[in-house]
Amino acid sequence: TQLLEQSPQFLSIQEGENLTVYCNSSSVFSSLQWYRQEPGEGPVLLVTVVTGGEVKKLKRLTFQFGDARKDSSLHITAAQPGDTGLYLCAGDTGTASKLTFGTGTRLQVTL
Partner 1 sequence: KAGVTQTPRYLIKTRGQQVTLSCSPISGHRSVSWYQQTPGQGLQFLFEYFSETQRNKGNFPGRFSGRQFSNSRSEMNVSTLELGDSALYLCASSFGLATYTDTQYFGPGTRLTVL
Q: Give me the residues that bind partner 1 (CB under 8 A), please.
A: 2, 30-31, 33, 40-45, 48, 50, 88, 90, 92, 94, 96-104
**Considering the complex, what minimum distance in angstroms separates the CB of residue 75 from partner 1?**
21
Alpha-carbon 22 to chain mean position: 7
Q: Is 76 exposed, middle or buried (0-12, 13-18, 19+ CB in 10 A)?
A: buried
**Considering the complex, what minimum distance in angstroms separates the CB of residue 18 from partner 1?**
26
**Considering the complex, what minimum distance in angstroms separates the CB of residue 65 from partner 1?**
11
Cis? peptide before 8, omega within 30° of 0: yes
State which residue, 44 or 78, has the beta carbon closest to partner 1. 44
**Considering the complex, what minimum distance in angstroms separates the CB of residue 41 from partner 1?**
5
State which residue, 42 or 82, has the beta carbon closest to partner 1. 42
**How many of the other CB atoms lie within 10 Å of CB of 62?**
16
Task: Give Cα separations from 33 to 15, 48, 58, 90 (angstroms).
Answer: 25, 4, 13, 5
State which residue, 51 or 77, has the beta carbon closest to partner 1. 51
